[in-house]
Each structure stands twice: as structure tokens, then as C-alpha cells.
Structure 1
Amino acid sequence: MLHMFRKSNRRMLVIPERVGFYFYVYSKRYRKHRGFWKVSRKILLGFLLCFGVLVLYRIQLSTVQVDLSTKQATHSEFSSQLYKPLDWDKINVTSSAFEERQCTPIHHVVFLKIHKAGSSTLLNLIARFAIKNDLVVALPKDRNYVNRLAFLNTSIFIPPPPGREHNIMCNHAVYNRTVFRSFFPKKMKYLAILREPFYQFLSAFRYYSVYKVVGGPEPIRNFLMHPNKYNFPTGGNFVHNRMIFDLGLSSKYFSDEKMVIDHINMIERDFDLILILEYFEESLVLLRRRFCWEMKDVLYRPLNTHGRAFSYSYTFEDHDLHRNYSKADYMLYRHFLKLFWLRIFEYGPDFFEEVNFFRNVIKRVQLFCSAKHTAEPLNVPGSRWNSPFELSVSDCKLISLSEMRIVHILRKINARQHQTNSSHL
């Protein structure tokens, strides 16, 4: 028994000796590698600071969430956490009455329709706004695009009716700053939409059947490995920096980084609003606020989308190859994506609450317009962002019109405007 006590007692004495020894060793090493430990401490503190900021940001996002009744699919995990479906029966219209706007709706808009960036859906929206307000749309005389190259002869436009001026332009065009600024009224607001460059490339690659020209089981990889192997007509390459080309940068400057940066800065000065397809609902709410439009003006249904998924596979390596191939488009997209969010954050949490409400409205509109129903309209309740409004069956038909059909309607309206204004002279 005594032997066991002495043995355990010795172990108890050994523990502080070992602790003292380890403390001595590490303190000696600390003095020897003091610079290393200082740098490590700074890295650790920086990591903890970043982690704290992310936690606070997540808490801030949670303040704009609302109670949910069912689960709704959204574009991303971020969106699914932030925007939740609403219980329409619990919306109190009188307590959340729409405050009358103190701004004046914008009726002069040049929408530069960029290829394969969700612009057909946006064209429908702008055309409906023009029809609703009897605005004069600048339409080409005999085609549905304005120009394929930066050169632009304004004689292609149908002149405005006597005593009136052009209010809207929404067809495909390549931006020419000099011509646009001299031809259209100075009060025009300039609008465009961008898309993540690789997915814009994939959409154009399929839509314009480039994959058929390339051939093989992996046409995306084959094309991006040797893009210069394929010849495109002048102005007809829709898979190489097409977004910045549509915004007016000549292809001969694609590799000149300084020219690209200067051109992006010029676009920022000239354009009042650049939207982002990946955040389409946020873009439409931003458009509604900046242009002082009503919520009914920015309702939409997706148009000109592919009926089936693109069957050819691609990899991260393909994405990297495309980033090198269309570097100017990536510079353009990153610049305006950052500016897009800076503008949104200026509005604060109320903006995200409106997006949540708007997404629920869009869901109801799409269900209503897709269903076989009677002539009973859809009643959308009022909120602090909109007054109550109705959506009729005829509204659904207009929202669902393709680009070609709604441009055809605009031509008929344009002819009627000429006839009406001429008879008043």
C-alpha cells in the first residue's frame, strides 16, 4: 500500500516537472522564432475577424427574412435562404398601404439588347411599358435588329410621328456612342443586361449551332482548345467577348487591357443602369425603383429559353479556357456585378423585402397565366411597394408574346400613331 502511494506520488511530482520542461522548451523556441509566431498570430487574428464579419453578415440577412408557409425553389442557396413564400391571406392591405411615389416615371429608355443575356424577356417588359403609355418606339424599317457592327446609319429607323419624338429603343444593336447620343433625345436613360460570360457563351454556342460546326463528342472542349481554327463573318462571332462587342468595343481591342478598362469606364458613364441576369428579380426591382415604374410594369415570364438542356458536358478546365478566350467579357461582368450590388445595398434591407414580395407575385402570375381559367382576373394585394392591381387574361397573353410577335404589334401601333398625328395636323 505504501509502495503504491509512493509510486502515485512520484507520478504527481513528475507532472509539474514535465509541464515546466515543456514551457521552458517552447518559450525558448518562441524567443528563437519570435518573428514567425508574430506573423502566425496576425494570421489567426485576421481569420477570426473575417469569421466574425461573416457571422454578422448572416445575422443581418436573417433580419429581412419573413415567415414562410411553403418552400420555394430559387436561383441559389443564398436566394433560398433570403426569400420565402408569403401567406397571401395574412397580408393586410390597409396596414401596408402603398405610399404615393414622389418621383416621375421614366418614359425615355434606350435598351441595348445584348445577345443571349435574357434580353428577350426584358424586351417584352419594355415593349409592354411602351404600349401601356402610348410611347413612340424607334423601330428599324425592315428588320428586327438595328445594326450588326458599330457603324450605324440612322436612316434605318422609322421616323417618329409628326410633333413627337422617340421614347423607346429596344431592338438588338451594337452601341455607337456618337450616333446614339446625337440621334436620340438627351433625356434618354440607357439600360442593358449582362450574363455570367461562360453561360452566355454556352447559350450562344447552342443557339447559333456552333457545336454543329465544331462537331465531335466534346465540341465545347474542341472549340476552346483551338478557337482561332474557326472563321466567323465580320460581326457574326457570338461566342467571343460578345457582350462587350455589343456595348461598342471593336474586336481589334479585345486583347488590349487598357482599352478594355477605358471602354468599361465609358460604359459606366453612359449607361444609367446595367442589370445582371443571374439576379433577375433583384434586377427588375432595381429597375422599378430607379425608373419609378409600377410593379405591374416589371412582371415577366421567361422567353426565348431553350426547351431542353444542353447535352454536351464541360469542365472547370473548359471554364478556365473560356476565361482566357473572352477575358474582356469577364472584366466587364465583374465590374458591373460589383456596381450592381453597391447600388442595391444603398437601399438597405427594405430592398430585399420587396424582392421577396415580388418573387411571390411572380410565382402567382406564372401559375395564373399557365392555368386554364375563366375571365376572372388575378388580384394582387397592395403592399408598401405597390398599390393593388389586377392581371387579366389579355395581360397574360401580352406577357407571353415572343420577341417577333411583340415587335410586330409595336409596328402596328407605330403606324396608328403616324396616322393619328397626321390627321391632327
Structure 2
Amino acid sequence: ISHTSPLTPNTHQPPKHRPTARAEQRRAHPPMVFLKTHRTGSSTVQNILFRLGERESATFAFPSHTYQFNYPDRFRAAFVDELPEGSSQFDLLCSHMRLDLREVRKVMPQNAVFITVLRDPIKTFESVFGYYTSTVPAFLTAHRAAAIEGKSALSVFLDSPEIFWDPKEPRNGLAKNPMSFDMGFNNQKWNGSWPEDLAQLEEAFHLVMIAEHFDESLVLLGALLGLEHEDLAYLRLNVRAGNSVTDLDENMQAKVRSWNVLDTLLYDFFVQVFWEKASQFGMERLKAEVERLRAFTEDVRRKCVSRAEVPPGELEDLLRPWQTETATIVGYEVQGNLSLQDQGFCIRMMLPELQYHSHLYFKQYGRDMRAWFPTYVLENPKQYTFWMFYSSDKTISGLGVFTNKLMS
């Protein structure tokens, strides 16, 4: 299945906002590491960085195989594909990984800026469970038990999580304190190294964004990197349909918090750090900048989006997000009657991670990505496989999609 959907080179500005002298003279952003945490709003941040990096012809540190750095293994420099010919350094690393600071620093320049995003642990865990029910063994076992008991899988898991969770199973990393696991911590229980590890993270990360204060986080990111509102406009990506979200009563929330106590400590710590940075920026200034960013983003959304929260079956292949067996991921329909330039900008804002990743990889290396199925989802019997058709200048001219059964 294929279609024509031109994606012109990303050298233009958002609709109705043409390059200014300042924009043309603006220096390229510093090298950057974005730790893409699971189910925290990180796909939206990654899309911003993808667009920025593509426009500035940044060199991406991509995984040598798949869309992730051999997750859930800790990151190793060996997981990164080779430096492209003509590049002197990697400028952007923003694919999923489990953090190892020492190994990341082997790959990225010394002046790299480190950022990540955290989310309320209760919301994060509910989302992780719903999204990865069929691929995390602990969740899948609870799901099967729930089918027998006639209860929700999440409630069955939270009643007795220790029954389902085997800490020796590496694919269970997201089943307890998932944000701590992504950060490279021992996510099983508190140990004596936690305070030291937390201090090391605070020193390493220039900004830890907070999902519940997303726009404020973007303003601080813009200040850190010297970005304009036009760089930071966004659409929320990889969002579940409402019927895929489980409402949690106070009792279930308490159970989530108890099971994920390290994530609660992590989140509370960096929320405090976040507001300290906001205070240094200036609260009144922050409020004014947030209002400007929201107004600009709303203008862009009205220009670009014909329909939001579109079910996957109603989306064209290019804009259809990857689907899990237990969650429906919705997307966007682009406005019609756009110029080719505006269409290229708008499609990029709503382009799902896998499609955008494949596009950038091909532009950088001039070859297709290697087999991408991550080992921790091999139990999932159906996945989407994407391939793209390119014109001579390496811009997307179309994309195909088919469903196939994973082979052992």
C-alpha cells in the first residue's frame, strides 16, 4: 500500500511566519542529549528536536539497529551507528535508551546539553501499563489473570504486584519505577547509592522538563538552547484514545504510588529543581513567555490540523502511529489546500516517531534502517513495518505500510 505525500526539505518556517534576519543569523543549537523516557510526553519533545535537527542539518546519533539503543540494556557507545562521512561529531541523541552517563559521554561532545522529561508517577505508570500490557511479561501475566477474574488488568496487578513481577526478567524493567529504570537507576528498591546517583543526575542534566508543566518546560528549553517560539510549537504525539485510559480511584492511586515509590522520590526531587530554575528565569517573565508560546502554537495548530484524535483506521499511512495490542493511539489529519511548503511543515509536526526516524536515518546515511524489531516486543504477534519511497534529493515522496507476523 503506498501513496504520494510530498515532504519537502525542512528549510522553511511555520505557516505565515517567514524567516527574519535574526532567524537567518541564529547560531546552531549546541550538541544535545535527550533521554527519551517512556510515556511522559517524550515523543512530543523528540518531534521538536527532530524538526530542529533536520532544519539545521544536525548529525543524529542513531541506533545501529532498530529505533532504540538496544533497550532495555544500559546504553553503550557501541550501540550507536557510525559517524556519517563529512561529519566531525554527533549533534543530537534523542532515541530511547536506558541511561549510562559514562557511555553517552563517549559518544557526544563535551559541551553537550542533557535534557529529559518526567511525569507524575501515577499517570506515568497507568500509561506504561496500558501501552505495554502485551509486551512486559509482568503486565501480560496480570492481563491473563484478569481475564479469568473479570477485573481490569491494572487492578489485578496492583492488588499483588509481587506475584507477577520477576525482577530477574530484563523485559520487566518498566513494570516498577519505569522512570527510574530509564534513568539507569536500580529500580527494584532503595539502596545506599540513591542519593549520590540523584546528585549525579542533577549535575549532569541541564534541564529536567516536567510533563504537568509542559509549556513552562518548553520556555526554559528555549532559553537554554536559544530557540524561538517557532521552534517550540508542537502537537501532542503518541496519545492514547480516551477508551484506552484507565481511571484510577484514590485506592488505586495509592497502590501505584506505593509500588513506584522511587519514581515518586525522583519526580518530587526534580519538580523542586524545576521550579528553582523557573525562579531563576523569573516567574513573571516565564508566565508571559508561556502565554506567547501558547498563542503561537494555537495559530499553528489551526493552520495545520484538520482533525485531532483521529482513530488509526482513518489515518493515511504516513501519519498513522504505531499501535499496541492493548491501546489505541490516535493521530492527526492535516489541513487541505496548503502550499507544498506549509504542508511539509505541518506534516512534520504530526509525523509519528517511527516514520520520522526512518526519514532522518535515510537522509543521513543514504540507506534504509536495519531490522528494527526490538527484542522486548517479540511476544507481540503483530507490528507495523514501514518503508519509504524517496526522490533523488532524499525527501519523502511516499510511505508504505503492511502488517506482518513476527518470526522467531
TM-score by length of 1: 0.67
Match of 1:374 among 332, 337, 341: 337
Q: Which residue of 2 aligns with 1:219?
A: 153
Q: Which residue of 1 aligns with 2:253?
A: 319
* Structure 2 residue matching 1:274: 3-state secondary structure: strand
Q: Which residue of 2 aligns with 1:402?
A: 352
Structure 2: stretches of 5+ with no match in the other structure: 1-16, 134-138, 307-334, 368-392, 394-408
Q: Which residue of 1 aligns with 2:264?
A: 330
How many angstroms apart in 2 are the aligned matches of 1:311 and 1:276? 20
Contact 2:90 2:107 in 1 (8 A): no
How many angstroms apart in 2 are the aligned matches of 1:101 and 1:410? 23
Shift of 1:105: 4.7
Q: Does residue 205 of structure 1 match 2:141? A: no
How many angstroms apart in 2 are the aligned matches of 1:402 and 1:311? 20
Match of 2:365 among 390, 415, 419: 415
Q: Which residue of 1 aligns with 2:39?
A: 116
Shift of 1:123: 0.9
* Structure 2 residue matching 1:392: 3-state secondary structure: helix
Match of 1:241 among 148, 173, 177: 177
Higher radius of gyration, 1 or 2: 1
Shift of 1:309: 3.2
Match of 1:181 among 105, 111, 117: 105
Shift of 1:107: 2.9
The structure-2 alpha-carbon separation of the partners of 1:213 and 1:275, relative to structure 1 and needing over 3 Å to count, comes to: farther
Shift of 1:285: 1.0
Q: Does residue 161 of structure 1 match 2:161? A: no
Match of 1:270 among 204, 207, 228: 204
How many angstroms apart in 2 are the aligned matches of 1:335 and 1:111? 19
Match of 1:195 among 119, 141, 147: 119
Q: Which residue of 1 aligns with 2:300?
A: 365
Q: Does residue 284 of structure 1 match 2:231? A: no
Contact 2:72 2:173 in 1 (8 A): no
* Structure 1 residue matching 2:242: 3-state secondary structure: coil
How many angstroms apart in 2 are the aligned matches of 1:239 and 1:278? 22
Q: Which residue of 1 aligns with 2:232?
A: 298
Q: Which residue of 2 aligns with 1:355?
A: 290
Shift of 1:235: 4.0
Q: Which runs of 4+ in 1 moved over 3 A?
A: 97-105, 149-153, 309-313
The structure-2 alpha-carbon separation of the partners of 1:102 and 1:273, relative to structure 1 and needing over 3 Å to count, comes to: farther
Q: Which residue of 2 aligns with 1:130?
A: 53
How many angstroms apart in 2 are the aligned matches of 1:149 and 1:229? 22
> Would you tell me which structure has more strand in proportion to its own residues?
2
Which residue identity lines up with residue 392 of structure 1 in the other structure? D
Which residue identity lines up with residue 131 of structure 2 in the other structure? Y
Which residue identity lines up with residue 262 of structure 1 in the other structure? E
How many angstroms apart in 1 are the aligned matches of 2:175 and 2:205? 23
The structure-2 alpha-carbon separation of the partners of 1:118 and 1:213, relative to structure 1 and needing over 3 Å to count, comes to: farther
Shift of 1:106: 2.6
How many angstroms apart in 2 are the aligned matches of 1:311 and 1:275? 23
* Structure 2 residue matching 1:178: 3-state secondary structure: helix
Shift of 1:242: 0.8
* Structure 1 residue matching 2:214: 3-state secondary structure: helix
How many angstroms apart in 2 are the aligned matches of 1:149 and 1:218? 27
Shift of 1:102: 11
Contact 1:300 1:399 in 2 (8 A): yes
How many angstroms apart in 1 are the aligned matches of 2:54 and 2:26? 21
Task: Output one character per residue of 1:26-81: Cα deviation in whole Å (capped at 9) or x when no partner.
Answer: xxxxxxxxxxxxxxxxxxxxxxxxxxxxxxxxxxxxxxxxxxxxxxxxxxxxxxxx
The structure-2 alpha-carbon separation of the partners of 1:100 and 1:313, relative to structure 1 and needing over 3 Å to count, comes to: closer
* Structure 2 residue matching 1:192: 3-state secondary structure: strand
TM-score by length of 2: 0.70
The structure-2 alpha-carbon separation of the partners of 1:319 and 1:260, relative to structure 1 and needing over 3 Å to count, comes to: farther
> Would you tell me which structure has more helix in proportion to its own residues?
1
Contact 1:299 1:362 in 2 (8 A): yes
How many angstroms apart in 1 are the aligned matches of 2:276 and 2:70? 32
How many angstroms apart in 2 are the aligned matches of 1:229 and 1:183? 40
Which residue identity lines up with residue 46 of structure 2 in the other structure? L
Percent identity for Structure 1 against Structure 2: 23
Q: Which residue of 2 aligns with 1:71?
A: none
Contact 2:115 2:207 in 1 (8 A): yes
* Structure 1 residue matching 2:197: 3-state secondary structure: helix
Structure 1: stretches of 5+ with no match in the other structure: 1-92, 378-390, 421-425
* Structure 2 residue matching 1:229: 3-state secondary structure: helix
Q: Which residue of 2 aligns with 1:393?
A: 343
* Structure 2 residue matching 1:309: 3-state secondary structure: helix
The structure-2 alpha-carbon separation of the partners of 1:101 and 1:406, relative to structure 1 and needing over 3 Å to count, comes to: closer
Q: Which residue of 2 aligns with 1:343?
A: 277
How many angstroms apart in 2 are the aligned matches of 1:263 and 1:408? 34
The count of aligned residue pairs is 308
